[in-house]
A and B are shown apart, each in its own frame.
Chain A
Amino acid sequence: MSDKQYRLASAARGGLLYMRGVPGVALGDRVVVRDHGGRRRNGQVIRTSDEVVLIQVLEGTDGLDLERTWVRFLDQPFEIEVAPEILGRVFNGVGQPRDGRPRLLSGLTRNVNGAPVNPAARAYPREFIQTGISTIDGLDSLVRGQKLPIFSGSGLPHNRLAAQIVRQARLTSEESQFAVVFAAMGVSFSDAEFFRNSFADSGVLRNVVMFLNLADEPTIERLILPRAALTAAEYLAFERDLHVLVVMTDMTHYAEALREVATAKGDVPARKGYPGYLYSDLAELYERAGRIRERHGSITMMPVVSMPSDDITHPIPDLTGYITEGQLVLSRELNSRGIYPPVDVPPSLSRLMKDGIGKEHTREDHGRVASQLYACYARALEARNLASIIGSDELSESDQDFLTFAEAFERRFVQQGEDEDRGIIETLNLAWDLLSLLPPQALTRVDPADLAKYHRWRGDAPKFP
């Protein structure tokens, strides 16, 4: 069948092409659509019956007519070519080279949809990754095999943060470097260049494989792109034993492309016009992160989600948060006060932190210090809120202490340089410097033993009992 071309399109609209009278076409198969000018487009079968075959055309249906459009069914699923040599290369959304170099000739292909990992075959992630960023390492630690998104907003420095993480991320126990899979969906040319330059400057470029779809390129291709990128990541991690860090930006553009096609298909919308299966669809991508028992490699994932109007309850960040193992939320307020990285501490979270820290991985007091910093900062924000109403002079003595703590916490702990790579012990010691601004009786989440060892309170400290 693969040799046959059909000219039986019955309708073309919204990126979808309807074909009549082509029986026996398999769901998910790849097709090539040739328009009257001879241009080839990529397509995928998304519904198939005896009468009608529905094709999603990745480059869109603009400029297609029904009479002179030819469709060739390749009789194979959507696959990309993989090889160790993909590192250092740049591909488009369907895995074709866009760096001017020849295509891979490995003969190895992998289905972009992958297959779900058997949960019983997974290994629980518990190896601490040091990113050199205090808010992440100290408060929301990343572990190998985790999926931890960055929730951001337009104009916030999520790209700079992601690039810094890529440059600095390493395991404290091993020297091995991460291989990086970078998936860019609908990003601007300048953002893509920023990443490329950042990787080049730090000398990691030969360890990076990029999949790029720029803002002015076909939207529907963004539906395949992260799948192609994750297929490459799975190959590198589970067949080539590498530790892979996947950065996907921007998931919002991905979800918008999904909505565009869903609307054209007439799917029942759930919230804000997004289809009801957005959760499952995102999960198919995010759940490809992880570790597998008895395999050496791992996939650690950092998707970037820009929250429309900074709204964390918008379906895209909301559903992402339900799937991923925590989130780093960026704050417009901290950013406007010149604090980089502007990580909004209270809503940020790492669910897998508990097993990746402590005596065996970082330091025995880590978990308690993190919990204490969170509690103190929450109390300090209340004090700051109150000060904005009644004035800081009216605050009680202890609230004043907390106000001082908040300022120091933001300026010394949260804020750091874009090239500043802090070790985890440095981060924890810094945390104790800040906690030493508060009296010991305010610190009930750490042990008395921690206080004795690390806390340097200058005031008097009565004891009970």
Chain B
Amino acid sequence: MGRVVEVNGPLVTAELAGVATGEQVRIGKLELTGEVIARQGASALIQVYEPTESLRPGEPAEALGHPLSVELGPGLLGGIFDGVQRPLLEQAKEYGDYIPRGGHLSPLDRRRVWRFEPRPQLKTGGRVAEGEVLGTVQETESILHRILVPPDVRGELTEIAGASDVTVDAVIARVRTDNGAISQLRLFHRWPVRSPRPYRQRDNAVAPLITGQRVLDTFFPLVKGGRAAVPGPFGAGKTMVQQQIARWADTDIVIYVGCGERGNEMVDILESFPSLTDPNTGRSLMERTLLVANTSNMPVVAREASIYVGATLAEYYRDQGYDVVMVADSTSRWAEALREVAGRQGQMPVEEGYPAYLASRLAAFYERAGRVTTLSGASGSITMIGAVSPPGGDFSEPVTSHTKEIVETFWGLSKELADARHYPAVDWVESFSGYVASCSAWWAKHVDPRWQELRDIALGLLSQADELARIANLVGPEALSPQQRWTLEGAALLKEGVLQQSALDPLDSYCSPRKQFVLLEQMLAIYRQGLGVLDLGVSVQELLRLPLLASARRLKGSYANDQMEGMREFAAKVDAEFSRLATEYAAQGKARQ
């Protein structure tokens, strides 16, 4: 038993010999929990996950003998945990509306009974290896939880439970390991959050992550197992983008880490997700969602831990052979927690007060994404999506610029677009995706072979229009040629008819890949046909007055994902309108000759 000698905000120094860095420590009469981050002589420097107010020198400190670990087993989905996996719903029931100090509720409910079904192929006396599936538990209606041999256990299976109703800490199997010891396996095991869980091999990510958001899927796609960042100034809609992904992404599991953000955003998810249905399974979204919440008013040190907790939970479901999306909102707050602890330790700051290891920590975090073959030979993936909150919206600041080097998909949000209520405010100039080529094959096979071609045409049109708009802002639109003015209109159609998407409109909130493509094709068709009739002598003023332009802008919210015939009828009417114009003007042209 050691004793506290200094309290400096969330950092505590204790006389505590024989502890390792990373080890968990219980501090003071309130039994606060902390983690050793440095050793010097006989004393240990401890970062504490809870407020240290009223702690005093002389109070006891006790090493717990293990690093920060999470419990992995059935009962995680649908839950909300704090940055060190304390169950917040249960805490609210037990301790009331405020977060208690020194609360030690187990993350997984020990009283809940699960139906365990052993894997029929398993025989006692046979060998089991790390990560092998022992059996299953129906965790939620849509997710079958696979109980795995922990990644550090292998040997002879000496005992396996039959189909039975058990609690998480009941022993369901015994394994004699190679050194002769007996390992008791339960429905759950623990894993240290700062060590990535092992897998057999890494695979290339090929399938796109369909989020139902046009500007993301069609223009700047992400793959299952990919890495993406969403930077943006406040009010640009980062959280909205992240929540839309958490709602609609075609993935098995969503882990939403609210890291230093608003409490009300977590409540929003908790209150709205249970009644929303997954477009792919038709089940409640909450059945596949797990929240990790360290809101901005909760202790800063647990914020640093929260994204590792989230990543470990993601890896656990990946190891069961699932596709997992982990959303971290916001990685900037995590970096600031890192900075605060570094600053209090007196470490030399490099850029804007951040410690020198910021870049390497960020890279290591995103490296936990990827598609892998698991130890049991299944295929699973983790897609990491990190929000970034650059101070002043300046993308050159350290967290944004380091993140930009790591991620393959970059959805830069723009204040100008947000100010005009163009949502999602993804800036088509700033943003990029390194996965276009790999997604192209999927779109060609499942939707349309012209996907990449039309995408490229659309992006070309947008950038051409940006250039023309700059000229028009200097000399006025009247100075542009009719073709150029029509180009501006074509880009406006793309922006309002395709890029803008309303999260609040039930018909528009989720857009199927087919509908995405049809909308893109339709806007480009109007643009192309307009250019055609301009050549026949139709004036651009007349084109701009066409009422079909307003209807085209409303098309996205006029037909649901399963009403494609309505979109086709619209396309036919557009074609008819342009051919009417063409015939009319062709006739006039002849008459003039």
Contacts and interface: CB of A to CB of B under 8 A. Distances in A.
A49 B57 contact: yes
A218 interface: no
A315 B391 contact: yes
A118 B55 contact: no
B184 to A, nearest CB: 32
B79 to A, nearest CB: 9
Contacts of B415: 347
B268 interface: yes
B235 A116 contact: no
Given A280-B336, A318-B392, A394 B98 contact: no
A403 B535 CA distance: 32
B475 A27 contact: no
Contacts of A286: 296
B46 to A, nearest CB: 14
A279 B234 CA distance: 13
Interface string B545-562: 111111101100000000
Given A116-B295, A390-B475, A124 B267 contact: yes
Contact of B352 (A271, A319, A375): A271
B13 A378 contact: no
Nearest to A323: B296
B6 A48 contact: yes
Contacts of B5: 49-50
A105 interface: no
Nearest to B263: A119
Contacts of B89: 120
Contacts, number: 236
Interface string B420-457: 11000000000000000000000000000000000000
Contacts of A313: 391-394
Given A25-B57, A119-B263, A371-B421, A269 B353 contact: yes
Contact of B270 (A120, A283, A464): A120
Interface in A26-60: 26-29, 47-50
A20 to B, nearest CB: 13
Given A271-B391, A322-B389, A374-B421, A396 B54 contact: no
Given A352-B264, A395-B476, A48 B57 contact: yes
A455 interface: no
A309 to B, nearest CB: 13
Interface in B403-422: 415, 418-421
A379 B495 CA distance: 14
Given A375-B420, A464-B546, A268 B54 contact: no
Given A120-B89, A287-B295, A321-B235, A268 B349 contact: yes
Given A120-B80, A120-B91, A444-B553, A27 B264 contact: no
B336 A378 contact: no
B473 A385 contact: yes
Contacts of A116: 98-99, 295, 297-299
Contacts of B476: 386, 389-390, 394-395
Nearest to B266: A119
* Size bracket of the B interface: 35 or more
Given A26-B56, A463-B547, A464-B577, A279 B333 contact: yes
B570 interface: yes
A365 interface: no
Contacts of B23: none
A173 interface: no
A378 B5 CA distance: 59
A441 B546 CA distance: 9
Nearest to A76: B54
Contacts of B333: 279
Contacts of B9: 47
A346 interface: yes
B568 interface: no
Nearest to B28: A26
B235 A347 contact: yes
A113 B80 CA distance: 25
A162 to B, nearest CB: 21
A114 B343 CA distance: 25
B1 interface: no
A385 B476 CA distance: 10
A267 interface: yes
Nearest to B57: A50
Given A26-B56, A77-B53, A295-B97, A117 B473 contact: no
A341 interface: no
B54 A28 contact: yes
A112 B298 CA distance: 16
Contacts of B7: 27, 47-49
B336 A115 contact: no
Contacts of A321: 233-235
Nearest to B576: A465
Interface string B257-269: 0101011101110
A292 interface: yes
B293 interface: yes
B181 interface: no
A321 B235 CA distance: 7
Given A119-B263, A346-B419, A124 B268 contact: yes
Nearest to B87: A120
Contacts of B353: 268-271, 276
A287 B53 contact: no
Contacts of A407: none
Interface centre among A288, A315, A386, A464 (most CB of B within 10 A): A464
A122 interface: yes
A8 to B, nearest CB: 15
Nearest to B345: A268
B584 interface: no
A295 B268 CA distance: 18
B474 interface: yes
Interface in A409-465: 440-442, 444, 448, 462-465
B88 interface: yes
A48 B547 contact: no
Contact of B297 (A283, A319, A375): A283
B262 A287 contact: yes
A120 B550 contact: no
A89 to B, nearest CB: 26
Nearest to B337: A280
A463 B504 CA distance: 26
B287 to A, nearest CB: 18
Contacts of A465: 548, 551, 570, 573
B467 interface: no
B478 interface: yes
Contacts of A49: 5-8, 13, 57
A462 B547 contact: yes
Contacts of B80: 119-120
Contacts of A327: 234-235
Interface of B: 5-9, 13, 51-58, 80, 88-89, 91-92, 95-100, 233-235, 258, 260, 262-264, 266-268, 270-271, 293, 295-300, 333, 336, 339-340, 342-344, 349, 352-353, 389, 391-394, 415, 418-421, 472-478, 496, 504, 544-551, 553-554, 570, 573, 577
Given A121-B96, A295-B97, A464-B547, 19 more contacts: A26-B55, A113-B53, A118-B95, A124-B264, A124-B268, A124-B271, A276-B339, A277-B340, A283-B260, A284-B297, A313-B391, A318-B392, A346-B420, A386-B476, A389-B473, A390-B475, A399-B477, A462-B547, A464-B548
Across the A-B interface, give the 4 residue pairs with the lowest CB-CB distance, nearest first.
A313-B392, A283-B296, A49-B6, A287-B297
9 contacts: A115-B99, A268-B343, A269-B353, A322-B389, A323-B262, A349-B418, A374-B420, A441-B550, A465-B548
Interface of A: 23-29, 47-50, 77, 113-125, 145, 238, 267-271, 275-277, 279-280, 283-284, 286-288, 290, 292-293, 295, 313-315, 318-319, 321-323, 325-327, 346-347, 349, 351-352, 354, 367, 371, 374-375, 378-379, 385-386, 389-390, 394-396, 398-399, 440-442, 444, 448, 462-465
